[in-house]
Amino acid sequence: NAGVTQTPKFQVLKTGQSMTLQCAQDMNHEYMSWYRQDPGMGLRLIHYSVGAGITDQGEVPNGYNVSRSTTEDFPLRLLSAAPSQTSVYFCASSLMSSGRGETQYFGPGTRLLVL
Amino acid sequence: AQSVAQPEDQVNVAEGNPLTVKCTYSVSGNPYLFWYVQYPNRGLQFLLKYITGDNLVKGSYGFEAEFNKSQTSFHLKKPSALVSDSALYFCAVRPGGSQGNLIFGKGTKLSVKP
């Protein structure tokens, strides 16, 4: 299994541009999520999904959209990039069948710089 | 509010000495607790978790963690540190009623010197 994959690895955007961060997993996990990591702030949840067609907001959803049309893919869209969205973005996935004890597995991350 | 605290931004240890990275939590219900490690420019790797049962949990790379319900703590430990253990360590909790979401601490940078 490839696990959780993310593309691109690095991206530079200008303020106001839009883009989509891709995330895919091949483990048939129901749960998928997006976090952003900023220095000294740990990881903060942006959006999550508990299955195809179901998404919900996390702690810091403003400026981001998600959709989940398949079990495998969970793209994150930046509608109009702002310098405050400069961060490292991580996608994660897990099973949900055993409840809260399931381990989340993380992708390698996308480093985004907004100028 | 439900939260996780890692009170030390950085922990410095000499190689061969024991190490402890501290984590305390505040959640409703029974906590499900996790430790992850992040090496430079990499994603997070799962180390270990506590769900129920024995308070001492053993994980990858010789790490272990002790769950203490009365002190609401879940400290990460290793008997003998290696230089290669130098990394950023995150404690996380999955609260009761969560649909899978984790709440992360801010991370602790572990530096092991030869």
| Token pair recorded at residue A39 | 């220095």
Q: Residue B9's CB: how many other CB atoms inside 10 A?
A: 10
Q: Work out the mean pLDDT of chain A and round it to a whole number.
A: 93
Q: Is the pLDDT of residue A100 over 80?
A: no
**Partners of residue B49 in chain A, C-beta under 8 Å:** 101, 103
CB A107 within 8 A of CB A91: yes
Nearest in space to A6 (alpha carbons), one of A16, A38, A20, B78: A20
Q: Which residues contact A56 (CB under 8 A, 6 or more apart)?
A: A47, A48, A49, A50, B99
Q: Is the Cβ pair B102, A45 closer than 8 Å?
A: yes
At B31 the pLDDT is 84
Q: pLDDT tens, B89-100?
A: 999 998 876 777
Please report which helix (H) or strand (E) contains residue B24, including its range.
strand B24-26
Closest by Cβ to A105, choosing from B32, B46, B101: B46
Find out whether A45 and A33 touch, Cβ atoms under 8 Å: yes
**Cβ-defined contact of B106 to A41 (cutoff 8 Å):** yes
Quote the pLDDT of residue A21.
98
Residue type, A103: T
The residue-averaged pLDDT of B75-104 equals: 91
pLDDT mean across residues, chain B: 93
A60: three-class secondary structure by DSSP: coil
The reported pLDDT for the residue numbered A99 is 61
Place B12 in a pLDDT band, splitting at 50, 70 and 90. very high
Lowest-confidence region among A27-36, A93-102, B15-24, B46-55: A93-102
**A98 — pLDDT class (breaks 50, 70, 90):** low
A47 forms bridges with which residues in the sheet? A34, A57
CA atoms within 13 A on the CB side of B46: 18
- d(CA A4, nearest CA chain B) in Å: 10
Most distant CA atoms of chain A, gap in Å:
43
Q: How confident is the model at residue B29, as a pLDDT?
A: 80
A83 versus A2: which is more confidently predicted?
A83
Tell me the residue type at A93: S
CA dihedral A69, A71, A73, A78 (to 10 degrees): 50
CB distance A33–B104 less than 8 Å?
A: no
Q: State mean pLDDT over B79-104.
A: 90
Q: Which among A38, A80, A29, A74 is positioned nearest to A56, based on CA atoms?
A: A74
Residue A102, phi then psi, degrees to nearest 5: -70, 140
- Mean of the pLDDT values across residues B23-35? 90
- d(Cα A110, Cα B10) in Å, to the nearest integer? 25
Residues of B in Cβ contact (< 8 Å) with A109? 42-43
Percentage of chain B exceeding pLDDT 70: 96
pLDDT the model gives residue B2: 86
Kindly tell me if the per-residue pLDDT of A82 is higher than 90.
yes
